[in-house]
Amino acid sequence: MAKRKRTSESLPEQAATQGLLPQKKYYRQRAHANPFSDHSLDYPLSPQDIDWAQYYPELAAGTGKVPEFADVGCGFGGLLIALAPLFPDTLLLGLEIRVQVSQYVQDRINALRVAATAESSSTDKPPHSFQNVSIVRANAMKFLPNYFGKHSLSALFFLFPDPHFKSRKHKARIISPTLLAEYAYVLRPGGIVYTITDVKDLHEWMKKHLTEFPLFEPVDEETLRSEGKGPIIDAVYHSTEEGRKVESNKGEKWLACFRRIQVSRS
């Protein structure tokens, strides 16, 4: 009798249900996606139409809690997983346009939740449950305000975004004059935009446009660390797959952070 072939589609599902971490080799996808292409996406008409309990079943049901940290283009979810135990009462959401990559992050979160549930029954000190982290497959360049209400976020992350090297492609960069108004809308006054890249030209581009926008002001790393945001900065530097690749290749990383300011009305 011939053995049933185990497909790559069945392995991730099995891993998630058993609490085993998924393996990236079963979720292969191109490094980047064209944000202007048509993608098969379901998106809410407004943030009020979202039932966040389906994403955070133990924390959002009946509480009115909404995500406060958003990782745009979250990749394989390294930042989300690193920050989740550090901010157990804060909802973190990743947005990723690529199908396989977003599925990997979802399976990774599911597996961590299953493992935490199993471990909690065998230890006096319950582990972090990862109930405060989730992901949506979304095109943030088009639909960010569909997910986040005005001033609902306290942190917005853009980590190692696609540099779009060619000049004619610069309009597709995630930090651009046409998008900064949306970021200012969803970020509350005092909230922080975190950017990091290993491409110096992109770093200068992001700094220039954020500095010139009237609702953001630069804030240096030392100031953020003095405000208790050191663990966030460390995760921004070291938690992502891209960041670790840069380190292994002995490359440079450029960090730029900006604070959402309150404009007084006369």
Is 23 within a domain? Answer: no
Is pLDDT above 70 for 108?
A: yes
Q: Is the pLDDT of residue 9 over 60?
A: no
Rounded-to-integer distance, Cα 113 and Cα 128, Å: 9
Domain-embedded: residue 209: yes
Q: For 221, phi and psi rounded to 5 degrees? A: -60, -40
Residue 149, domain extent = 62-260
| The total number of structural domains that make up the chain | 1
Residue 28: inside a domain, yes or no?
A: no
In a domain, 225, yes or no: yes
Residue 36 maps to a domain: no
Residue 25's pLDDT is what? 59
Does residue 14 fall inside a structural domain? Answer: no
In a domain, 42, yes or no: no
- What sign does the dihedral 13-17-20-21 (CA atoms) show? positive
Q: What is the CATH number of the domain that holds 107?
A: 3.40.50.150
Catalytic residues: 162
Find the range with the poorest average confidence among 27-31, 41-45, 56-60, 170-174.
27-31
Binding site for S-adenosyl-L-methionine, residues? 73, 96-97, 139-140, 159, 240-242
- Residues with Cβ < 8 Å from 220, sequence gap 6 or more? 257
Model confidence at 238, pLDDT cuts 50, 70, 90, reads very high
Cβ partners under 8 Å of residue 50, min gap 6: 44, 147
Q: How many CA atoms lie within 13 A of 229 on its CB side?
A: 19
In a domain, 37, yes or no: no
